[in-house]
Structure formats: C-alpha cells, structure tokens
Structure 1
Amino acid sequence: MAKIVMIGAGSTVFARNLIGDILSFPELADSTIALVDIDAARLRTSEIVAHRVAEALGAHPVIEATTDRRQALPGADYVINMIQVGGYPAALVDFEIPKKYGLRQTIGDTLGIGGIMRALRTIPVLLEIGRDMEELCPDALFLNYVNPMAINTWAFTEATRIRAVGLCHSVQHTLEDLAGDLGVPVEEIDFLAAGINHMCFYLRLKRKGEDLYPALRRLAAEGRVREDDRVRYEMLRRTGYFVTESSEHFAEYVPYFIRGQNPELIERYNIPLDEYPRRCEAQIADWERLRRELEAGQGVLEVRRSVEYASLIIHSLETGQPR
C-alpha cells in the first residue's frame, strides 16, 4: 500500500483532481493519502473533499490531515509538492514592484523578475522539505508542481539527495487546444514533445500517419487563430514548431512581445498583462464557494480523471506498468 503525502493540500481543487486520479486506479485505491497544509481552514476543506472523492469512487484509502509535515512524511513513498509560498499577497508584490519600474508581466511565475522573486522565497522552503525527507523518507520520490518549475526543481535536485521530478500540464492542455483548432479528436493525435519543462515544442504532430503541421501552418498564415493564442501561432510562423506553453505565459518567456518601446505589440498579440492576480482572485472566490457548499453538505462533487502525470507515474512505479 503506497503512502502519498501532499504538501500544500489546501489547494483544494488541484488536490481533488490528484486524489481522484490516484484513487481511480484499483491498485492505489487503498493508499494512504496524507494531506499537509499550514492553513488549517483550507486543510479541513481538502480533507472533506478527499473523503467525498473516495466515496464517489468506491475507494477505501486511509486519509490523514496535519499542519505539520514532519508528522506526515515518515514512511512516505511519494511526496507531491503544490505549495505557494506567500500566497496571493506575495504574488501581488511580484507584480506591483516591477511595475513601478516599467517591467510588465502576465503570469510572473517562471521567468523574468517575477519568477526570480518567487524562486527566492520558495527555494528555502523546498530545501527544508528536502532535508525533512532525507531524514524521514529518504527513498521517497518528490513530485514538484511548484513554480518556477525549472528553477525550483534544479535547486532541489542540486541541494538534496532526494529523487525528484518537475511536473506541469502544459503539454497535455496544449494538445487539447490544438485538437480543437484542427477539429480532430485529441485522442487520435500522436505527438512527440521535447524541451525544458515550461517551454517544450512539439517535434511531431500526426493523426493516423498524417502530419498535422501543414494544417497548423495554414491557420497561422491565414490568421485563423484564437484571439487568446496569437503569440504561439506567431512563434509557429517564425520557428516552424508549436510551443506547449500558453500564449500568456510564453509572451514573457522571450523578449519579443512585452516591450516598453513597442506598446502596440500588447494589443496586436492580445497579451493579458497582470493576468495572474486576476486568476488568483477568481480562484479564491471559487474556493470560498466550494468551502461553503462542502461544509453545508451541498453540491455535487464531480470526479473525473485529469490530465496530470503524477498518478500515472505513481501507478507505473507501484505496478511496473510501462507508459
């Protein structure tokens, strides 16, 4: 029976998705799921969600919840990290201070000044987790979902002896976007993606042996692209390949689109400046609604498999099934 620790489990919706993915496998349905968060209120909501997910799936896991990760880590086989150090207030600082000096951002969690600021406050916490793991569960696999992805995972693997992998969902979600753009079922697309996590490119896109890139290039050449995806299609036109990171992310990964001396580019490529704080506000409102419904015993909790890789990795390691 696997023991899976989720640090930052107060990210209730994301935790719900991962728990649902894990418990949907019969071989993992009796796992121990240890939820950890420093916010007791959010942790309580996530614990309710975990029990509801297990009930919906007919699974019988052992569900634990604690605000002290050292209580949860002993005996862990897998540690899933999904914390946000400083939360929404710190994210606002990442935007507001650079803005005073003319540096504009969209998401600010991976590269540029926002990514650096986030890394500087996150890496020390990650290394504390790593040291606890070295002491309490040295053979566990660390699955990191925390941004800035490449910086954090690099720091963790350099500074600790713990096995680690950095995970994101941009490859999976972008494939769904492209399937919609091309009007083909996503499950019929055969792809090969490569690159640094948070900036991969599709080297191959095929459907039943047919190369899909000519059709994508026609969309780009004719300007028949979604309003919120102009950046990626411009990069396709320039490089010949489609990048997996969303247009709002990618716009700040390269120095071509958000330029103080060329403000017209913001409108031309429909770049949503200050997008991340708006998303945070929406997520906070959604969590409050979910909390009220759960604590009142209301609402239907929908459980369906997500596209996240974490459960697939855990299942393969537990069963030996190749993927």
Structure 2
Amino acid sequence: PHLWSICEDMLEVAPEAVMLQYVNPMAINTWAIAEKYPTIKQVGLCHSVQGTAHELAHDLGIPYEEIRYRSAGINHMAFYLKFEHRQPDGSYRDLYPDLVRAYREGRAPKPTWNPRCPNKVRYEMLTRLGYFVTESSEHFAEYTPYFIKEGREDLIEKFGIPLDEYPKRCVEQIERWKTTSEEYRKANRIEVKQSKEYASEIVNSVWTGEPGVIYGNVRNNGVITSLPFNAAVEVPCLVDASGIQPTYIGDLPPQLTALIRTNINVQELTVAALMTENREHLYHAAMMDPHTAAELDLDQIWRLVDDLLAAHGDWIPEWARPSKASRAA
C-alpha cells in the first residue's frame, strides 16, 4: 500500500518523472508497479553487477578498467554471460577458465572488505553452472536449496556462510550513520565522492542527454526471450534524454533459465496476491520458494507465513493480515 501511494502521488504531480527504485524486494516491486501502473517510468537499481565485477577483477589481479562484461537475469540472480579481459592488441580474452582455475587452486576468492563473507558459494556455483552469479554468496545461498540445511553444519563450515550476517550488518550500518552524521556536523568542508551506484548517472543522462549504460531492473517485454514476458529482469540499459532503454539479450543458457524460474515462481505469485488482494497466493508463493520447500512441510510453511504477516503488523494491508483464528491454529 505504501508503494501504491507513492505511485499515485507520481501520477498526480510528476507523471513524466522516472522512479529510481532501490527498495527490496526489488523484482517484486518492479513487476508489481509495471502491472498496476504501466504508465510510470521506473527502473529498479542494485549494485550487485558492478560490485561483483570489481571483486572478480580483484581476485584475478586485473585492473577493473581492463574488464568487459555482459550480465543478464533477474535481480539477485543475474549471471555474467561474458566476462573478459582486454589484451594489448585490443582483443578480449575469456576469463572464466582463469576464475575456475583460481578457485580450484585455492587462489580465489581473495579476502574482501568483509571478513565474515568468504564468497565461496558463488565460485562453487560457477563450477556447476559455468557462469558466475552477481549476487553475494551469503545472499545467493538463501535463494537456493543447496547450501543452508538443517543439521548440515558441515556445509555452513565448508562454504563459510555467515547466517547472522544481515542482522550484524544492519547494526553496524546504523552505528556508521550516527558516526557519519556527527562528523558532518563538525566538518568545515564535506567532500562528496562518486559512488558505484547508478542513480546520479541516470539523472545526468536523462537531464543532459549524455548517453550512459547501467544495469537496471525493468519489465522484460521480450528482452530475455527464455523468461516470462511480464517478469522483472535485470539487463544492460542505455540511458539518455529518451529515458531508460533495455538491451535485447535473447535466450539465456538453459541451466540459468531453469534456476531463475524457481525464483520467478515466487515473485509471480506474490505479484498475483498484490494485484488481486488474494492472500492465499502469499502461501502459494512461500510454497514455491526453493529453500523454504527444501526445509519445511506445508503446515510449517503456512504457520511461518502467518507469523511473518503478524510480526509486520500495520505494515501489512488489511486484506493480507492473518485472522486470529488462523494464528491460533
């Protein structure tokens, strides 16, 4: 409902504006807005693609500026279809064999800014799928049934999966916000450094017409031909004075399409719940989640959804709130 109110306000006061949407669940939000408010210009933004490319360049000891890549999929489950290194003669060399070899030999992944996250899950998936996923290892592990299992502490240990990472990160971020706020209040001069986020680049390109390229989440509309037409996909986009224009990808490799579809199932059912205000589809969505289905039976899934809806209280719209009878059961 809060997202809908923002959309209603945009239609009323700024119908030609572009919504830069940074809110999770990114794919569900992008998909739902496109369904309910098709005239709103929007793009969902994340930093996984460019952030991971920097990490892989670091793992291989190659300057990021010499890397060329092409990624496609859905948010938190997009893959580098190409990951290449520019050679002195101007040609490009495929870096996937180097990444696999570095992982097999224990040279990758190298330590990153976060020592709690050793990033082994994605490298393991690379050896199984042949492509590297853009979302972090600790997050990607939650979208699949392979790594986090009840009673399988050996898997957690082997792949270094920090189960408490996100609560810890939230606590640390809140503390950093306080510290940064105090520093800014005391500072005589504040220097703003360019980040790897796409928002400022989009504003510049739309406003000035200077072309830019970003990775954005948009309605598929046939850009990735092996995924549903109305799904939200994450693809390279040209940005200029005409707005955000997605790039045609075609079919993804079949193993990537299959894995992505398992998460599109969840997204599609959640959007169906939002569009029809049918709360049954929320349970259906949870049933389809690969990790949830691998761990819980149907009664447990139903109770979990009820507990989560109840815990969110007034943030949940009236139609989706569990009845007292269902909670008691």
Q: Answer whether TM exceeds 0.5 for this pair.
A: yes
From 288, 295, 312, the counterpart of 2:201:
312
From 136, 159, 162, the counterpart of 1:269:
159
2: CA distance, partners of 1:194 / 1:254: 18
Q: Partner of 2:71: helix, strand, or coil?
A: strand
2: CA distance, partners of 1:154 / 1:305: 29
Query: Which amino acid counterpart does residue 281 of structure 1 have in structure 2?
Result: V
Query: Which amino acid counterpart does residue 267 of structure 1 have in structure 2?
Result: E
1:198-235 CA-to-partner distances (Å, cap 9, x unmatched) read 21111111112111111101012223323611001000
Contact residue 229 and residue 247 of structure 1 kept, 8 A: yes
2: CA distance, partners of 1:272 / 1:300: 38
2:70 counterpart of 1:178 = no
Q: Partner of 1:245: helix, strand, or coil?
A: coil
Change in 2 beyond 3 A, CA 1:220/1:164: same
Contact residue 293 and residue 299 of structure 1 kept, 8 A: no
1:176-214 CA-to-partner distances (Å, cap 9, x unmatched) read 100100000001101111111221111111112111111
Query: Which stretches in structure 1 are left out of the alignment for 5+ residues?
Result: 1-123
Percent same amino acid among aligned pairs? 56
Corresponding position of 1:74: none
Query: Which amino acid counterpart does residue 233 of structure 1 have in structure 2?
Result: Y
Q: Partner of 1:273: helix, strand, or coil?
A: coil
Contact residue 142 and residue 162 of structure 1 kept, 8 A: yes
**TM-score, structure 1 as length reference:** 0.59
Query: Which amino acid counterpart does residue 155 of structure 1 have in structure 2?
Result: A
**TM-score, structure 2 as length reference:** 0.58
Instruction: Name the Cα RMSD after superposition.
Output: 1.5
Q: Partner of 1:177: helix, strand, or coil?
A: helix
Shift of 1:292: 2.0
Larger RCO (alpha carbons 8 Å, 6+ apart): 1
Shift of 1:293: 2.3
Shift of 1:277: 1.1
Change in 2 beyond 3 A, CA 1:299/1:273: farther
2: CA distance, partners of 1:257 / 1:300: 47
Contact residue 99 and residue 108 of structure 2 kept, 8 A: no
Q: Partner of 2:211: helix, strand, or coil?
A: coil
Corresponding position of 1:195: 73
Shift of 1:310: 1.5
Corresponding position of 2:128: 238
Shift of 1:321: 2.2
Corresponding position of 1:279: 169
Corresponding position of 1:148: 25
2:4 counterpart of 1:127 = yes
Corresponding position of 1:77: none
2: CA distance, partners of 1:276 / 1:156: 27
The 5 Å alignment of 1:1-323 reads 124-160=1-37, 161-208=39-86, 209-226=92-109, 228-295=118-185, 297-298=186-187, 301-323=190-212
2: CA distance, partners of 1:182 / 1:214: 11
1: CA distance, partners of 2:122 / 2:188: 38
Query: Which stretches in structure 2 are left out of the alignment for 5+ residues?
Result: 87-91, 112-117, 213-329
Change in 2 beyond 3 A, CA 1:157/1:263: same
1: CA distance, partners of 2:161 / 2:30: 28
Change in 2 beyond 3 A, CA 1:299/1:251: farther
Query: Which amino acid counterpart does residue 237 of structure 1 have in structure 2?
Result: T
Structure 1 range deviating more: 209-218 or 151-160: 151-160
Structure 1 range deviating more: 273-282 or 305-314: 305-314
Contact residue 220 and residue 236 of structure 1 kept, 8 A: no
Number of residue pairs the alignment of both structures matches: 199
2: CA distance, partners of 1:281 / 1:275: 10
